[in-house]
Amino acid sequence: MAASIQFHEFCAIPTLPGFSIVRKDVANDGSLLFLFAETSGTKSLFETYKRGIGEFPRTRTEVPARLCLVRTTSETSQTIELPSLNLTFPHVDIFPDGRVLVAGPRCAWRGEGDFDLNGAIIQPETGTTTRILLGDGISSAQIDGLGRIWVGYFDEGVFGNFGWGGMNGAAPVGAAGLVCFSDSGEKLWEFPERSARAISDCYALNVSGTDATVFYYTDFPICTIGEGYKLTFRKTNLAGCNALAVSETEALLSGKYNDPPDAAYRGKLTPHELSDIKRLRMIMPDGSVRSEGQLTARGNSFYHFDAEKVCCLSLD
């Protein structure tokens, strides 16, 4: 029988009259971020359309949606009113100085100088919003302790879609698979895309402090980008995990392809590999095994979100 690791209850899911939660995330400092949209406009944030045999998300809404952010710790809660935005399927994070990032994962290129600016940086005190280009195919967007924006991309963001790439489109912004941006949208650094260890699909990104750690296809190593953008690669025998928590000495990953939702893998971070990997069962506070719900990782912790509460477990 697999060993287990247990969640503890962290806080209740907040509510706002007239608003619905459209995104749940975790900030660099461990606070929880709940992005709300006015309920009447929520459906427009998640609209899709059919093209050929495929179904694709819309990159922007026709009418901007009214948004609000609730930032919660185990002891306090802060409500931040945001301006209306037209970004679909939004991600959210917060800068060290309190500014808010809302990012839409899809971004269309229609021609020279005509593309979606899918990052919105908001000054809560004034409502001032700056729009920047973060590129199409975003799998994760997280802000570090220096205020840099780290963006991981799935395969469509790497190889191109929605007008990016091909013979007539602009080069995909996320062709490297992982890009570090300034808060003005300038590319500060990107993963070495032409190396033998190039990223085809960023499955998991964890930005903690000033470091970023990724787990990615095709060979599924764990790579940490440290001070001066120094890369440290560690080989694993895992594949398909989409949540990654890291401490100084260990890593915890969610289940592999086709694993049940309670599966996790814990191993030791040695200079060149993740060693002594053990499969664990994730157990909820009441003793039941983890089932449905959102699983998110940040820093050394996993967070489980269900309809009513948030639970957390951390590496020692």
Picking from 256, 201, 246, 239, the residue whose alpha carbon sits closest to that of residue 225 is: 246
DSSP 242: -
Amino acid at 127: G
Q: Can you say whether residue 19 is alpha, beta or left, with left for phi > 0 and alpha for psi between -120 and 50 degrees?
A: beta
Instruction: Print burial letters for 54-75: b (CB count within 10 Å at least 16), e (below 16).
Output: eeeebbbbeeebbbbbbbbeee
Go through the domains of the chain in sequence order and give each one's CATH number: 14-253 (2.120.10)
* The two three-digit tokens of residue 60, written as one number: 């922007």
Number of residues assigned to the chain: 316
Picking from 298, 311, 284, the residue whose alpha carbon sits closest to that of residue 245 is: 298
User: At 103, which helix (H) or strand (E)?
Assistant: strand 100-103
Q: What is the per-residue pLDDT for 1?
A: 60
User: At 157, which helix (H) or strand (E)?
Assistant: helix 155-159
Q: What is the pLDDT along the chain (316 residues), one digit of tens a residue?
A: 679 999 999 999 999 999 999 999 999 999 999 999 999 999 999 999 998 888 999 999 999 999 999 999 878 899 999 999 999 999 999 999 999 999 999 999 999 999 999 999 999 999 999 999 999 999 999 999 999 999 999 999 999 999 999 888 999 999 999 999 999 999 999 999 888 899 999 999 999 999 999 999 999 999 999 999 999 999 999 999 999 999 999 999 999 999 999 999 999 999 999 999 999 999 999 999 999 899 999 999 999 999 999 999 999 7
8 A C-beta contact, residue 164 and residue 156: no
